[in-house]
Amino acid sequence: MQRLAVIDDDLAVRQSLLWLLESPSLAVSGYDSAEAFLADTTAASCNCLIVDLRMGGMSGIMLLEKLAAWPYCPPVLMLTAHGDVPHAVAAFKQGVVDFLEKPFDDQHLLRLVEACLARDSEARSRHQRRQQVQDALQTLTEREREVMQLILVGLLNKQIAEELAISMKTVEVHRARVFDKMGVKSAVELAGLISILDSQGGKA
């Protein structure tokens, strides 16, 4: 089941959204402040956030800045009763999906939530795959990483041996270990795996 968090200090709005969004496939939780949301140990498992711009204490923009430090941040929809261009620009710069003024159209909001949940499913899958690749890279020794980098630029075992001043047999052993730890069977598969990091701003 997917999870959605409504973060709004207006009780009436919060309860209205909980009623509107709750469904058999979506668990919706309400929070009366950004601080309360961040204090929840299950917060990171949410698949979509609906955040009020102006709240007592931490504002919606301040919450977005906090979320930017998370390894993965779900899609965010921002609500406000007093929208203005500077706040909208700040929200979009922080990656918010859409900026809606209260009162909002229920059906429009439902369509946006549906799109956010689909977006989260794809993005979270990519994030998890990227994390798996990074975790595998952490298991490589310094020498194995050197051999991997030379494999990725297309050098043959003999050329790698000459480049690193080691024997062909040693290169073969390191190559086999790199493939085993990274879960691949060829240099082409290895390159494809590393491209996952390159396409998402990662680093091998």
For 139-198, CATH gives 1.10.10.10
Q: Is 2-130 a domain of CATH 3.60.70.12?
A: no
* Helical residues (DSSP H) of 68-184, grouped into ranges: 85-93, 106-138, 142-152, 157-164, 168-182
pLDDT at 101: 86
pLDDT at 59: 92
Question: From first to last of its 204 residues, what are the pLDDT tens digits of the chain?
Answer: 999 999 999 999 999 999 999 999 999 999 999 999 999 999 999 999 999 998 989 999 999 999 999 989 999 999 988 766 677 777 777 788 998 888 889 999 999 999 999 999 999 998 999 999 999 999 999 999 999 999 999 999 999 999 999 999 999 999 999 999 999 999 999 999 998 886 554 455
**Peptide bond before 103: cis, by omega within 30 degrees of 0?**
yes
pLDDT at 81: 80
pLDDT at 94: 78
Q: Is 140 left (phi over 0), alpha (psi -120 to 50) or beta?
A: beta
**What pTM was computed for the model?**
0.74
User: Where exactly are the structural domains of the chain?
Assistant: 2-130, 139-198
Environment class of 71 (CB within 10 Å of its CB; exposed 0-12, middle 13-18, buried 19+)? exposed
